[in-house]
Amino acid sequence: MIKAYAAFEADGKIQPFEYELGLLATHEVDIAIEHCGICHSDLSMLHNDWGITQYPFVPGHEIIGTIAAKGAHVHNFQLGQRVGLGWHAGYCMTCHSCMSGDHNLCAQAESTIVNRYGGFADRVRANAASVVALPDNINTQTAGPLFCAGITVFNPLLQFDIQPTAKVAVIGIGGLGHIALQFLKAWGCRVTVFTSSDDKKKEALALGAHKVLNTYNPAELGAARNQFDLILSTVNVKLDWNAYIATLRPKGRLHF
Ligand SMILES: [Zn+2]
Ligand SMILES: [Zn+2]
């Protein structure tokens, strides 16, 4: 019996909930969960904002744990191995996207918390293809967000071929932004943070920002004209895009 926490209706309180996992398929693994992050999509699902939530709803898709069971066809994990699981818990493994290595674009991809029970539990099941091996010495308490907020802000660095010489601005320094800032800093980029909160200025500088601009001050935004190779927006609000786009550096081609 799996011990989990579930909401039983939209906006419902998260309460203890038990369920049976049933038989393990040959390509699946069970993960004994050590830690699980909380993401805004967990809240969107809890509120049924997207109209796809089924109750009882078990949130949690930033999962860190160890392999507790594996199906007969799973050869790439050992029992006890430390792993992570994010938004996707399975792929069709036959479509063009899957066969090209772009599993995240699979039209049949299954979400860890849609029609499945997520990581606010002592165990979660997933197709082995969606599970990621982790080093044993990773900090299991803080690694969870790498699997949703982390990959979301890391992906653009590769997609846009961002070089260590690039100047990048990050809008917002919350769950996604504070990870983006640290990735960019480690990547070697010069990082500017746009924030509307003076409280976060200190925090952003401590995390490695070279510069922090207060977006409530039009003069600060105006002074940043023609500077950035990329702006990573991590805020879910309407912005004065013309003012931000003016801070991008004109470019003759996409690759630097
Ligand atoms: Zn998420
Ligand atoms: Zn597929």
Cα(141) to ligand 1 centroid in Å equals 16
So what's the pLDDT on residue 219? 86
Q: Do domains 2-144 and 150-245 have the same CATH topology?
A: no
Specify the pLDDT at position 107.
96
Sequence ranges of the domains in the chain:
2-144, 150-245
- Beginning with the edge strand found earlier in the chain, give each strand of the sheet holding 167-171 in spatial order: 211-214, 190-195, 167-171, 230-233
Answer whether 236's CB lies under 8 Å from 210's CB.
no
User: What is the enclosing helix (H) or strand (E) of 191?
Assistant: strand 190-195
Q: Nearest bound ligand to CA 149?
A: 1
| Ligand approaching nearest to the C-alpha of 114 | 1
Q: What is the pLDDT of residue 93?
A: 94
pLDDT at residue 129, rounded to an integer: 95
Q: Tens-digit pLDDT profile for the chain (256 aa)?
A: 999 999 999 999 999 999 999 999 999 999 999 999 999 999 999 999 999 999 999 999 999 999 999 999 999 999 999 999 999 999 999 999 999 999 999 999 999 999 999 999 999 999 999 999 999 899 999 999 999 999 999 999 999 999 999 999 999 999 999 999 999 999 999 999 999 888 889 999 999 999 999 888 888 888 899 999 999 999 988 888 999 999 999 875 555 4
Residue 67 Cα to ligand 2 middle (Å): 24
> What are the φ/ψ torsions at residue 193 (nearest 5 degrees)?
-110, 130
The ligand placed nearest to the CA atom of residue 150 is 1
pLDDT (0 to 100) of residue 253: 57
With beta carbons less than 8 A apart as the criterion, state whether 58 and 17 touch.
yes
Q: Which amino acid is at 182?
A: Q
Q: What is the largest CA-CA distance in the chain?
A: 62
Question: And the tokens for 69?
Answer: 């069971």
**CATH architecture designation of domain 150-245:** 3-Layer(aba) Sandwich (3.40)
Residue 124 burial (CB count, 10 A): 30
Q: What's the rounded Cα separation, in Å, for the pair 93 and 43?
A: 29
Q: Is 173 within 8 Å of 153 (Cβ atoms)? A: no
Q: Which amino acid is at 176?
A: L
pLDDT at 255: 55
Cα 253 to averaged position of ligand 1 atoms, centre (Å): 32
2-144 falls under which CATH superfamily? Medium-chain alcohol dehydrogenases, catalytic domain (3.90.180.10)
Per the CB < 8 A criterion, the answer to whether 126 and 89 are in contact is: yes
